[in-house]
Amino acid sequence: MTTESILMMAVAMVIIWGGLIVSIVALRARPERDDLPPGGVDDHRQDAGIIEHDT
């Protein structure tokens, strides 16, 4: 491969795959907000697992 094409491939990999890794790491570090305002509570029946086993 030419130096130019290697460079462009490397730049694309670093930005795109790097962006993917950074976004995954950031999400794992803080998956959800812990300072949500009150409300917005989903009804317990909305959990499919609970419904199916709730006899």
Partner 1 sequence: MTWFDSRAIDAEAVGLVSTDNTTAAPREQFTGQVGFILSAIGSAVGLGNIWRFPGVAYENGGGAFMVPYLVALLTAGIPILFLDYALGHRFRGGAPQAFRRVKGWLESLGWFQVMICVLIAVYYAAVVAWAASFFVYSFGLDWGDDAAAFFVGEHLQLADVGGADPWLTFDFVAAVLIPLVLVWVAVVAVLAAGVVKGVQRANVVFIPLLIVAFGILVVRSLFLEGAVDGLNVLFTPDWSALGDPSVWIAAYGQIFFSLSVAFGIMITYASYRRRRSNMTGPGLVVAFSNSGFELLAGIGVFSALGFLASQQGVTVADLNFQGVLLAFVTFPTIVTEMPGGAFFGALFFGSLVMAGFTSLVSILQVVSAAVQEKFALSRRAATLGMGLTLGVVSVLGFSTTTGLILLDTVDAFVNNIGIVASAIFMCVFVIWLYRSGPELRHHLNTVSTFQVGRWWYVCVGAIVPVMLIVMLVQYVITRINEPYEDYDTTYLLYAGWGSVALLFVGAIVFSLPRWRSREEFTAWPPYPPVDAATEQKGFIR
| Residues of this chain that bind partner 1 (CB under 8 A) | 1-2, 4-9, 11-13, 15-17, 19-20, 23-24, 26-27, 30-33, 36-43, 45-49, 51
Question: Do the beta carbons of residue 44 and residue 50 sit within 8 Å?
Answer: yes
Closest separation in Å from C-beta 29 to partner 1:
9
For the bound state, the minimum distance from the C-beta of residue 34 to partner 1, rounded and expressed in Å, comes to: 10
User: Cβ 6 to partner 1, closest distance in Å?
Assistant: 8
CA distance linking residue 22 with residue 20, whole number of Å:
6
- The length of the chain, given as a count of residues: 55
User: What tokens were used for 26?
Assistant: 């950031």
